[in-house]
Amino acid sequence: MARKKTEPKAPAKKQSNAYIEGAGLVQDERITLSLEKNYMPYAMSVLVSRAFPEIDGFKPSHRKLLYTMYKMGLLNGKLTKSANIVGSTMRLNPHGDAAIYETMVRLAQGNEALLHPYVMSKGNFGKAYSRDMAYAASRYTEAKLMPICAELFGDIDKDTVDFVPNYDNTTTEPTLLPVRFPSILVNSNVGIGVSMASSVCSFNLTEICESTIGLMKNKDFDLLETLKGPDFPGGASLLYDEEELDRIYRTGKGSVKLRAKYQFDKASRTLEITEIPATTTVEAIIEKIVALVKAGKIKEISYLRDETDINGLKIGIDVKKGVDPDKLMQKLYKLTPLQDAYSCNFYILVGGYPRIMGVYDILGEWIKFRMNCVRRRTANELDQKKQKLHLLKGLGKILLDIDKAIRIIRETDEEAEVVPNLMIGFGIDEIQAEYVAEIKLRHLNREYILKRTAETDKLEKDIAELEEILGSDRRIKNIIIAELKEIIKKYGQPRRTQFFYKTDIEEVSIEEEVPDYQCKFILSDSGYFKKCTPQSLRMASDQKFKEGDFQSQEIDASNRHDLLFFTNSATVYKTKASAFSDTKASALGDYIPAVLSFDEGESVFSMVATTDYSGYLLFCFENGKVAKVPLSAYETKTNRKKLANAYSAKSRLVAMFHVADNANIMLRTTNGRAMIFSTALLLPKAARDTIGVQAMTCKAKSVVDRAFIVSDEKAEELKKYKSKTIPVAGSFAKDIEDPDQITF
């Protein structure tokens, strides 16, 4: 529940120190109602006024900046300091110079963030592909509008779009720009709103215009015929997946896979990466590769450097001798952002409301928008021509008797009577008479008047043509198609993003790169781990431990085994043997709680090594219960390093064992009882934290304090303790006090 303060009621009559009823009282209100009244307007304001682009392809901040530059005459004028542009834009966008300049940087040619930049730039505007390459301050850089902006503002003075007052009512600004091409899909746009996010990728201008023409001619047109896929300013390669592309075109949701382009210099054995996915940066790629090299996961690289300069992006990777560069790149694609996915989420504002639309729907809405712009432009031109024709018809009547017009003006005593007298003398209306009265004396000749009235026939033809256009959607579409074709000729450019196909993807198993050799895993009681090779053990077999520490486990395995370290807090930490360097017997080894970042108070309880997660884990608890869990329950597909609830915490864990199949288990209690049973009596449980089943019944407040695996031979020797059923209380065992007699 939320609380709101009630408004005080007005007093019945004015009194000094009067008591106001209801003042200071708090009234209960449902939290959902408070959110609806207060938070929802804020959320919609963020979406509509900041985060999402509209059908013209611009957010309000973009539109205000570009319109300001247009009004400054920067479409055809000279470059001017960016600071001047930023200052002028604040008349429309009062959010501060830093925010305005950042907007301008992204639209600039020098930043390389857009396929078709709108701002021609001079100076350092940073780079979209670099996180650390900062742009210069606005006082050092210069800018103007790119030629393509003529297609954004070409009809703006012909009533094609609505204008609204700016924030302080000192001027007006357009609600949309009358763009002549679908700029919403030509340049990428990313925005994060409240509970919604928009991510519109860029497409090739020529392909988008051809696709728009195709849809205008045939509503069932297949976009895949002309729109091959997204086209990014940074190039790179795109996985051509026709099914996924069609899904994006129809729903506006999906993702495309991008990978970097490279070439190999055989002379210097250097991989040169020249184009990277639009979702990452040079620094992110280099940091990831360095981390992999340090972790020992990539050993084929001898040196790495950033060679990006004035000529463009380049990452140099020196490859060791004998390494196949193509296989190395496949490995890097798998492990680094050199291959990444661009998530498409086409949220667009239409009529002030956010809608998620596919390319089909976006182009459909843009066609409606553009048709309305052309219709309004045509109506504006028609109105102007009708007005001009009306004036020329009045002028034509003057042609009949110029001397009469001069005489009327000369003989009129008062200036205010000139227009009424002309209206009476020639039978024209006030607008026509005002036009005639304003003609200069030098123009009151037959030649001038004949030239002006000669336009009448052409105007009448133009008016008939415009009226026909206004009444025909087909004619309007033909005009838009002609404009799109002209734009293709003027601004079309080849695709920058080329394609690769599923057949080009070579699956690389990272495991295959890990050297395979035999080794021995040794774990001490306090948590020190050693990976020793047979050669090092032959040289010195005596293991060194800290004072008071001793060996608790020893496993014969290989360098490709996975290691699972179970802790005293029912957690398991997973790692790989290859992550540890080979250790000599004389060394203390790696302290596992520190290496694997154990939580405070955690210590190693037991270690398990496996390659295929086969077999079972047996958990023996002090309450006499034993759990049998398949080791496969600890296998994960996402390479998780830490798993909680690794075993049950309901009772203290006494011992755990990894067995391939069934085994004989002996349980010992604190009151001297013992029993042996086969794990075939236990059913495996899928849940890791199962408490298992009762194997031994504890009497006289005793608990199980030890558990051992016994061989079949030893179990036969101690058959008087062996039980064919569970649970049992066991027998007093005086002849097997030494556990070393039965363990192996």
* 140 catalytically annotated: yes
- 439 pLDDT tier (thresholds 50, 70, 90): confident
- 582 pLDDT tier (thresholds 50, 70, 90): confident
Beta strand 172-174 pairing with 163-165: antiparallel
* Cis bond before residue 420 (omega within 30° of 0): no
Is the predicted pLDDT of residue 100 greater than 90, yes or no?
yes
Cα–Cα distance for residue pair 621/467, rounded to 1 Å: 92
Residue 560 pairs in a beta bridge with none
- 732 pLDDT tier (thresholds 50, 70, 90): confident
Is 42 a member of any domain? Answer: no
More confident residue, 445 or 86: 86
pLDDT in the model for residue 406: 83
3-state secondary structure 676-717: EEEHHHCCCCCCCCCCCEECECCCCCCCEEEEEEECHHHHHH
611 and 643 together in one domain: yes
87 and 116 together in one domain: yes
Is the predicted pLDDT of residue 185 greater than 80, yes or no?
yes
Diameter of the chain by CA atoms?
Answer: 147
For the chain, first and last CA: distance in Å? 65
CA distances from 140 to 80, 99, 135, 309, 679 (A): 10, 17, 10, 20, 79
Is the predicted pLDDT of residue 576 greater than 60, yes or no?
yes
- Count Cβ atoms below 10 Å from residue 254 Cβ, excluding itself: 21
What percent of the chain is predicted at pLDDT more than 90?
58
Is the predicted pLDDT of residue 743 greater than 60, yes or no?
no
pLDDT tens-digit profile of 25-46?
A: 777 878 888 877 777 777 777 7
Is the predicted pLDDT of residue 495 greater than 90, yes or no?
yes
* Mean pLDDT of all residues in 405-428: 86
Is 355 a member of any domain? Answer: no
Task: Tell me the residue type at 284.
Answer: A
User: Residue 275's domain is classified under what CATH number?
Assistant: 3.30.1360.40
User: Residue 618's domain is classified under what CATH number?
Assistant: 2.120.10.90
Query: Could you tell me which of 95, 118, 115 has the C-alpha nearest to residue 179?
Result: 118
Spatial neighbors of 524 by CB under 8 A, at least 6 apart, are 545, 546, 549, 550, 551, 552, 589
Of 13-17, 565-569, 708-712, where does mean pLDDT reach its minimum? 13-17
- Count Cβ atoms below 10 Å from residue 189 Cβ, excluding itself: 23
- 511 pLDDT tier (thresholds 50, 70, 90): low
- 508 pLDDT tier (thresholds 50, 70, 90): low
Instruction: Give phi and psi for 278, each to the nearest 5.
Output: -70, -10
CA distances from 196 to 39, 182, 345, 355, 562 (A): 14, 23, 9, 10, 41
pLDDT tens-digit profile of 461-488?
A: 999 999 999 999 999 999 999 999 999 9
pLDDT tens-digit profile of 218-253?
A: 999 999 999 999 999 999 999 999 999 999 999 999
* Mean pLDDT of all residues in 526-534: 91
529 and 677 together in one domain: yes
* Mean pLDDT of all residues in 189-208: 88
485 and 516 together in one domain: no
**Which of residues 491, 521, 556 is at a domain's end?**
491
CA distances from 419 to 389, 405, 423, 442, 605 (A): 19, 11, 6, 19, 108
58 and 113 together in one domain: yes
631 and 601 together in one domain: yes
Instruction: Classify residue 555 as exposed, middle or buried by CB count within 10 Å of its CB (0-12, 13-18, 19+).
Output: middle
Residue 619 pairs in a beta bridge with 627, 656
Is the predicted pLDDT of residue 304 greater than 50, yes or no?
yes
Residue labelled with tokens 């920067």: 74
Active-site residue (options: 39, 140, 303, 501): 140
**Which of residues 288, 313, 337 is at a domain's end?**
337
- 744 pLDDT tier (thresholds 50, 70, 90): very low
- 22 pLDDT tier (thresholds 50, 70, 90): low
pLDDT in the model for residue 297: 83
Of 290-294, 437-441, 603-607, where does mean pLDDT reach its minimum? 437-441
Task: Report helix angle 359-399 to 455-470, nearest 10.
Answer: 150
Of 59-68, 170-179, 541-550, where does mean pLDDT reach its minimum? 541-550
Residue 688 pairs in a beta bridge with none
Beta strand 347-350 pairing with 26-29: unpaired
Q: Where are the alpha helices (DSSP H) in 50-175?
A: 60-71, 82-89, 97-107, 150-153
What percent of the chain is predicted at pLDDT more than 70?
94
549 and 696 together in one domain: yes
Is the predicted pLDDT of residue 9 greater than 90, yes or no?
no
* Mean pLDDT of all residues in 122-131: 92
* DSSP character at residue 231: -
652 and 547 together in one domain: yes
Beta strand 237-239 pairing with 498-500: parallel
Residue labelled with tokens 């051509």: 240
Is 641 a member of any domain? Answer: yes
423 and 517 together in one domain: no
- 21 pLDDT tier (thresholds 50, 70, 90): low
Spatial neighbors of 626 by CB under 8 A, at least 6 apart, are 618, 619, 620, 665, 667, 679, 682, 692, 693, 695
Cα–Cα distance for residue pair 266/442, rounded to 1 Å: 82
433 and 525 together in one domain: no
- Give the number of domains in the chain: 5
* DSSP character at residue 271: E
Cα–Cα distance for residue pair 377/451, rounded to 1 Å: 27
* DSSP character at residue 38: I
- Residue count of the chain, please give it: 744
**Which of residues 170, 195, 219 is at a domain's end?**
170
Collapsed DSSP state (helix, strand, coil) of residue 437: helix
Is 348 a member of any domain? Answer: no
pLDDT in the model for residue 142: 96
Is the predicted pLDDT of residue 611 greater than 80, yes or no?
yes
pLDDT tens-digit profile of 168-177?
A: 999 999 999 9
468 and 528 together in one domain: no
Is 249 a member of any domain? Answer: no
721 and 644 together in one domain: yes
Is 566 a member of any domain? Answer: yes
Is 180 a member of any domain? Answer: no
Domain with 286 in it: 261-337
User: Residue 404's domain is classified under what CATH number?
Assistant: 1.10.268.10
Is 312 a member of any domain? Answer: yes
pLDDT tens-digit profile of 654-711?
A: 999 999 888 999 999 998 889 999 999 999 998 999 999 999 998 878 999 999 998 8
Structural contact between residues 685 and 741, judged by C-beta atoms closer than 8 angstroms:
no
Is the predicted pLDDT of residue 19 greater than 60, yes or no?
no
Task: Report helix angle 82-89 to 60-71, nearest 10.
Answer: 110
* DSSP character at residue 20: P
User: Residue 98's domain is classified under what CATH number?
Assistant: 3.90.199.10
Cα–Cα distance for residue pair 208/491, rounded to 1 Å: 12
Cα–Cα distance for residue pair 612/606, rounded to 1 Å: 19
Question: Mean pLDDT score of the chain, rounded to an integer?
Answer: 88
Structural contact between residues 709 and 718, judged by C-beta atoms closer than 8 angstroms:
no
Angle at 680 between CA 628 and CA 633, to 5 degrees: 25
